Amino acid sequence: MGAPLGRPECSPHFVVPRSRDESRPGTIRLLPNVKSTSPTVVIAIADAEARDGVCRSLAGHGFVIEGSAGDVPAAVAAAEEARPDLCLVDVDLPGRGLTAVSLIATRVPSATIVVLASSPRPAEMIAALERGASGYLAATIGEAELVKTLHAAYAGEPALPRAFVPDLIDHVRGSSPRRAALTPAGEALTEREWEVAELVAIGLSTGEIGGRLGLSPVTVRRHISSLRKKSGAASRAALVEALRLFPR
């Protein structure tokens, strides 16, 4: 698994526009509604070499690197500590990148989250957007295009592959609820099944799920069997993949 790098080698620093508060001598206050021309960024990419490369590239184009991470817990912690303008999140982060997107979006709502995907897929893009991401890019994107796209995302523009826009439109127009995508037959999951599903999705074992929810292993296995039947998943691994694409 990856590990947090802490302050990356490109010597990050954090500069906030400030002015003197005349009503309180010796104090300073943040200027309201001021967008810095040097956006702050947390970079969460599983591969250390790729992470360092992106760090150097962005630092060389006016971004301020506030932190970096190689797995989900470190990514969320770095985002919470730095509260950056942008979070660049690898969907393949150990611990499930979409989980990082959801947690960062909840805990640092001011951050603009852009996801990097090694194998971009429309369904995964939609899942990322539903979890709070503002962008979804191929990990193979060139340096110049990445810099341009992140600046645009920071300014409020969507950062999405043009080829996937029709899929997004179809999704928005579709009459079927999102949960039905997980269950092709349209069978609704019970509240308990969703609780089990969320723990299955993050890789917990049957015993660990039972411990979290106060259920016996037999009961947990019964819920997992029901989840597989409703989703059409041929195996537990296939169920995890389905839940990854269609989270609650």
Structure tokens that stand for 82 in this block: 């730095």
Q: What local confidence, expressed as pLDDT, does residue 141 receive?
A: 92
How many Cα atoms within 13 Å fall on the side-chain side of residue 11? 1
**Structural domains in the chain plus CATH codes:** 18-171 (3.40.50.2300), 178-245 (1.10.10.10)
Q: How many CB atoms lie within 10 A of CB 88?
A: 27
Confidence at residue 212, expressed as pLDDT on a 0 to 100 scale: 85
pLDDT at 69: 93
Yes or no: say if 197 and 243 are a contact pair by the CB < 8 Å rule: yes
Side chain identity at residue 222, one-letter code: R
* Conformational region of residue 79, where left means phi above 0, alpha means psi within -120 to 50, and beta covers everything else: alpha
What is the pTM (predicted TM-score) of this model?
Answer: 0.59
What pLDDT does 117 receive? 93
For 123, left (φ over 0), alpha (ψ -120 to 50), or beta?
alpha
> 3-state DSSP: the chain helix, strand, coil percent, rounded to 5?
45, 15, 40
Tell me the mean pLDDT per 10 residues along the chain, length 248: 40 35 39 61 94 92 92 93 95 89 91 93 88 92 92 88 81 54 66 87 88 90 91 85 73
DSSP string, 126-166: HHHHHHT-SEEEETT--HHHHHHHHHHHHTT--B--GGGHH
- What's residue 186's pLDDT? 57
- What pLDDT does 25 receive? 42
